[in-house]
Amino acid sequence: MRPKKGRTLRPPRRIWLAPAILVAAWAVAWLDPETGIRNWMSLRDDLEAARGRIAVLEASVLRQTREAERLEGDPLAIEAAIREDLGLARVGESIVILREGAAEDVQVTP
CB-side exposure of 72: number of CA atoms within 13 Å? 6
Cβ count within 10 A of residue 98: 10
| pTM of full prediction above 0.75 | no
* pLDDT attached to residue 44: 92
* Tens-place pLDDT, residues 55-70: 999 999 999 999 888 8
Residue 100 sits at φ, ψ, to 5 deg, of -65, 130
* Tens-place pLDDT, residues 41-58: 888 999 999 999 999 999
